[in-house]
Structure 1
Amino acid sequence: MNHRAPVFIITGGQGQCKTTFLHLVLGLIVGLNVRVRGVIAPGHLRDGRRSGFTLVDLATGEHEELCSIDPDPRCEAHGRFYFRPEGLVFGRRALAPPDPRETDLMVIDEVGRFELQGAVWAEQLDHLLAHPHPPMVWTVRRRLLDTVVERWKITNAVVVDVGAASVMATAEAVMDAVWEWREAQAFSPVPAPPVPGDRIAAPPQCADAAAGAPRSTPVILRRCYGPDE
């Protein structure tokens, strides 16, 4: 088993289209038989401000409202958002540790301050990183990047800054990691039970994707986080 599959971290400032960048990367690999699990969380705006998020399960294409700014006594309050119990159950199920022989890529959109406080997806991240896992792609706000890397002791991060990185080259780097993972699993003697679903929902097209990111820029920005740094 490969215990050190890379964690690609798509990062940028608030409102800098991290989720859109991720949509486009997934759109480039969707036809390549990549078995993707995890969640993507498109946001909603109201009066120019973020008003909530919807979760999409990438293995099934199903979706569920995760949270909104509208108060609800049934919901968990985190910051100014109220997280629906149905949305949390939906997301936690989608982020359960995958069958490593039936999953090529795990996606978590996004890892942020609520997870750093031990809420929302924190427990799922702990479980994912405690097991052999396929390559993963996370989205993380730039100002939280180093704290997230330190909190989950990620020693093999590949940092992708949406302000400078190429969508195409990032997709190629993710696919390289997927092929390496598949090769490692082909020689693994460990049997694994089946996992439901191996489909990925086709991402919607977003006109403002990776706005301002020149296509001739380097593939990705790499940082190695290790015990000597």
Structure 2
Amino acid sequence: MYSGVNASRDEPVFIITGGQGQCKTTFLHLVLGLTVGLHVRVRGVLAPGHMRDGRRSGFTLVDLATGGHEELSSIDPDPRCEVHGRFYFRPEGLAFGRRALAPPDPYRTDLMVVDEVGRFELQGAVWAEQLDRLLTHPHPPMVWTVRRRLLDTVVERWKITNPVVVDVGTASVMATAGDVMDAVWEWREAQAISTTPTVPFMDYIAGDPPLLAGAAAGAPPAILRRCYGPEG
């Protein structure tokens, strides 16, 4: 899937895609659980959805850098909110997400995640401005989620020259995790700032590192090439 970073350092954008309700966020969470270990620094947002009477009723945001969360949108009317489609977007949730999606320090971030990019962004709303800024600044590898029917439009709108499309209908979580980790490894090598001694692989598998844990404060962390077995 991932063919390497090109000579211009155009870092890949992994796009996890599928139909509506096809568990793109779940797939992304599983990938992050395998790739974002103790020493990988991640920024961005996850947006798990909520259901009511069999229909999508809203979304919560999770800031991957801090673990904080905030309600983003709901189908319940609220005069304070921005209205997009049938959803009312809370000002607190929008401000929370925009802070989490600010252009990262490329020397302190290994992976940027945006869940999800959809029709509201294509209309210039919600995260559209943040995506424009992310792609005009030096950035690490990124992972986006996008509905399949919007995929080509999103790639064209943001002029993504190095997309890696991952369709949840056919893709392997393990293989995707390995490809993302390879991209992160190459990004960190390019930064030439990794000074922490390599942690033995057995130290990783001896215990269960916290899911999505950030790097400890201090010296830049080392990153290991990870080995993945077949999915069980």
Which TM bucket (shorter chain)?
Answer: 0.7 to 0.9
Cα-to-partner distance string for 1:134-188 (whole Å, 9 max, x where unaligned)? 000000000000000000000100000000000000000000000000011117x
| Cα pair 1:54 1:66 within 8 Å, conserved | yes
TM-aligned CA deviation for residue 115 of structure 1: 0.1
How many residues in Structure 1 have an aligned counterpart in Structure 2? 194
1:77 aligned residue (75, 83, 98): 83
Q: Does 1:11 align with 2:40?
A: no
Q: CA deviation at 1:2?
A: 6.1
TM value normalised by structure 1: 0.81
Structure 1 unaligned runs (5+)? 188-198, 203-214, 217-229
Q: Deviations over 1:77-113 (max 9, x none)?
A: 0000000000000000000000000000000000000
Aligned position for 2:138: 132
* 8 Å CA contact retained: 1:12, 1:18: yes
- Counterpart for residue 62 of structure 2: 56
CA distance 1:134–1:167, change in 2 (3 Å) = same
State the match for 1:223 in structure 2: none
Q: Distance in 2 between matches of 1:140 and 1:101?
A: 27
Between the aligned partners of 1:176 and 1:3, the Cα distance in structure 2 is 14
TM-score by length of 2: 0.80
Deviation at 1:30, TM superposition (A): 2.8
Amino acid at match of 1:119: A
**d(CA) in 2 for partners of 1:117 and 1:33?**
37
* Match in the other structure for 1:163: 169
Partner of 1:38: 44
Structure 2 gaps, min length 5: 1-6, 194-209, 214-229
The runs of at least 4 aligned residues of structure 1 exceeding 4 Å deviation read 199-202
Identical residues among aligned pairs (%): 85
Is the 8 Å Cα contact of residues 2 and 132 (structure 1) preserved in structure 2?
no
Where in structure 2 are the equivalents of 1:61-140 lying within 5 Å?
Answer: 61-140=67-146
Deviation at 1:31, TM superposition (A): 2.1
- Whole-Å separation in 2 of the counterparts to 1:56 and 1:2: 32
